[in-house]
Amino acid sequence: MTSITATRLATILGPWRSQSPAYAALADRIRLVALDGRLAHGTRMPAERDLAAALGLSRTTVAAAYARLRDAGSLESRRGSGSFVSLGTRPAAVAAVDGIALDFTKAAMPAAGPVAACFAAAAGLIGPELSRSGYEITGHPALRGAVAAHFARRGVPTDPEQILVTSGAQHAIALLTRVLATPGDRALIEQPTYPHAIDALQAAKARPVPVPVDVEGGWDLAEAEAAMRDATPSLGYVMPDFQNPTGASLSEDERGRLARAADRHGTVLIADETTMWLDLRRGPRRPLAAYSPAVVTVGGLGKLAWGGLRVGWIRASRSLVARLAQSRTSMDLGTPVFEQLVAVELLARERELVAERRTRLADGLAAMREGLAEQFPQWTVPDPDGGLALWLDCSPWSSSELVLGAREEGLALTAGPRFGLNGAFEGRLRLPFTDSPESIRAAVGALRRAADRHASGPLAEPLVAV
């Protein structure tokens, strides 16, 4: 049974007060952090008295919030056992978007044009595979070779033996953190960052060491160097290209500086390249692995081709690939062969895929920027060089209140704190521009209505992880 302490829950909730009565505002925030995955279904909640003490409230207020959650079906109380987070009988990811017309919680696109043809081509190649076992713990030789060639084209000579094929990039991140981190290890991580990277570190019981990243200035490399010197993290997670959610990219000089610092202090850098292809106008940059042989690279085709194709990879030293393969056997015995054959076909059409995605993302970005300029003229809207989403300062509105209000307008979003540690980024909102221009305009309109109807006004001072 998973449980959460009152102190930990208070940190996750962040600045939750609004113009609503305290019990209602607290209930809404607990419901939000359950919907976006920060509180898992079935988690045992703190006792009313403990949460009241942690939040500086009366027990009556917390009891009223719990009652409101029970009435909404978001909390189940069992006599003698406590109260538990409830998202119904369905998985949280499904329950979170139930009845939603516009789902903007995922920064992902429908399948690219060539995907169907690549599936058809792979079907013609599957015959000889059926006479083999189908278990390829390190990956199908054809795909390992294709991924190695992909790195070689980008200036990083790679042998197929340095590639481990995974069931998506998230599987790769989870596998790496499991092998490279032991409970209590410190791990460098961007702040804000990809939410499931935070989840992977927490699952490994590593202690995150945050490094600030922002839309305009990118990474605070002086802070990163100091963190590696003082905290000696065993590993670090970064997205060098079109970082999720800020859209920032490391320059060539910054890549070298970061890699050299990691080498000096013995930190293994995990470079997540899943967004690397999504360049609108920046131009190519060398992989972070070009600056140090110790850099481990994660990649995949989910953002470029289709999220339904659960194929990813890890590029690492042969010795680390062997360790990863050995550890993997307790999780699974390899990636499906058919999907790997599809991935080989897709990598052969890389330029075609990139050109198609660039056009779609450029149209989506233009529609998002135009809609926000019309509906939220007081916001400063970034104009990123690539990526999948905008990371907006949504002041004077609370991100969490906007997200809850948007659900009533049929729009599902993810609140800013989901991308940070310890309740940070209540004043930030991620808006993907991956959908059609028509859907994007409808989403911005729904967000405007939510702001008009539900937002409570100026934010309290946000809690920032130091």
Domain assignment of residue 122, yes or no? yes
Whole-angstrom distance, CA of residue 393 vs CA of residue 431: 11
The reply to whether 315 and 409 lie within a common domain is no
For residue 161, report the phi and psi dihedrals to the nearest 5 degrees: -70, -10
Task: Say which CATH number the domain at 303 has.
Answer: 3.40.640.10
The reply to whether 317 and 408 lie within a common domain is no
Domain assignment of residue 465, yes or no? no
The reply to whether 25 and 39 lie within a common domain is yes
pLDDT by residue for the chain (466 residues), tens only, comes to 588 999 888 888 877 787 789 998 898 888 888 877 778 788 899 999 999 999 999 999 999 999 999 988 889 888 888 888 987 644 444 334 455 789 999 999 999 999 999 999 999 999 999 999 999 999 999 999 999 999 999 999 999 999 999 999 999 999 999 999 999 999 999 999 999 999 999 899 999 999 999 999 999 999 999 999 999 999 999 999 999 999 999 999 999 999 999 999 999 999 999 999 999 999 999 999 999 999 999 999 999 999 999 999 999 999 999 999 999 998 899 999 999 999 999 999 999 999 999 999 999 999 999 999 999 999 999 999 999 999 999 988 888 889 988 988 999 999 998 999 877 888 899 999 999 999 999 999 999 999 998 655 444 333 333 2
The reply to whether 320 and 188 lie within a common domain is yes
Q: How many domains does the chain have?
A: 3
The reply to whether 231 and 369 lie within a common domain is no
The reply to whether 204 and 303 lie within a common domain is yes
Whole-angstrom distance, CA of residue 433 vs CA of residue 365: 5
Whole-angstrom distance, CA of residue 152 vs CA of residue 274: 17
Whole-angstrom distance, CA of residue 236 vs CA of residue 189: 6
The reply to whether 280 and 239 lie within a common domain is yes
The reply to whether 269 and 392 lie within a common domain is no
Distance of CA 252 to CAs 141, 238, 255, 264, Å? 32, 15, 5, 19
Residue 188, SS3 per DSSP = strand
The reply to whether 415 and 341 lie within a common domain is no
The reply to whether 139 and 50 lie within a common domain is no
Contact assessment for residue 362 and residue 426, using Cβ atoms and an 8 Å cutoff: no
Domain assignment of residue 36, yes or no? yes
The reply to whether 267 and 164 lie within a common domain is yes
245 preceded by a cis bond (ω within 30 of 0): yes
Domain that holds residue 284: 115-348
Query: Of 61, 93, 125, which residue sits at a domain end?
Result: 93
pTM of the model: 0.83
Domain assignment of residue 154, yes or no? yes
Domain assignment of residue 1, yes or no? no
The reply to whether 252 and 120 lie within a common domain is yes
